Structure 1
Amino acid sequence: MGKPLSSKEIGEKVRLLRKHAGLTQEKLAELVGVSFQQIQKYENGSTKLNTDKLQQVASALNVSASAFFGEDTYEKSPLSDREKKLIKAFRSLGDEEIQDGLVKLIVKAGTKTI
């Protein structure tokens, strides 16, 4: 068993999963029933998440509480509604040439933001 994660490390996972879910701090705060400032404090590690709040955050992000403690959280987190919509639209195209063009466009656009 590895060393326990710090509040800062757990907060970083919260931020990563929140962004992956396409949620703002304000929206996550609304879903959890706290202020967006409190979400900021969780994410920067200045306030510890107790087990009840951790479970509420996990539920709002549609992940299990254990997602905050694994190494590959980002890779296994569920798709957001936007991502599901994008995949459905992509698959409905049917034309592989158009699909390939879209993939190239998205990859190129994504590398400009990294």
Structure 2
Amino acid sequence: MNLGFDYSVIGNRIRKAREEKGITQETLAESLDVSNAYISKIERGRTPVNLNNLDKICAILETSADYILRGANTSNEDYMRNEIIDMLEGCSPEKIKLIAQIIKPIVDYEG
């Protein structure tokens, strides 16, 4: 059942949180008793992470499931900015140019 989650964005958040903690894929895999390939597939959005493993990953990486699943981290005032950055990460230069053209008038608006 797909609940509308973008697994590539979720995987990217897991990868970022792992890297921020200085933990390798191998170390995370060992902590979860899974293969490196499984962690790699999760981080690349090729396979969804089950809730049991998500809970363990969040504990190990000291982050919240809310952040991993939705980008919402209430302890971080810039969570919406981070969410936008996450969305842009996989975009082509052409898409980023288009997005910039769309948001520039909003950012420049004085109202």
2:104 aligns with none
TM-score norm. by structure 2 comes to 0.58
Check conservation: 1:32, 1:60, Cα contact below 8 A: no
1:32 aligns with 32
Q: Please give the root-mean-square deviation of Cα atoms over the aligned residues, in Å.
A: 2.0
Gaps of 5+ in 2: 77-111
Alignment partners' CA distance in 1, 2:4 and 2:12? 14
Alignment partners' CA distance in 2, 1:34 and 1:44? 16
Confirm whether residue 42 of structure 1 aligns to residue 33 of structure 2: no
How far is 1:70 from its partner? 4.1
Alignment partners' CA distance in 2, 1:72 and 1:64? 9
The one-letter code matched in structure 2 to 1:45 is G
Structure 1 residues 64 and 72: CA distance shift in structure 2, 3 A: closer
1:71 aligns with 71
Residues 1-114 of structure 1 mapped to structure 2, 5 A cutoff: 4-71=4-71, 76=76
Moved over 2 A (4+): 69-73
The one-letter code matched in structure 2 to 1:12 is N
Q: What CA deviation, in whole Å up to 9, does each residue of 1:19-52 have, x standing for no partner?
A: 0010000011111111111100000011111111
The one-letter code matched in structure 1 to 2:54 is L
TM-score norm. by structure 1 comes to 0.57
Gaps of 5+ in 1: 77-114
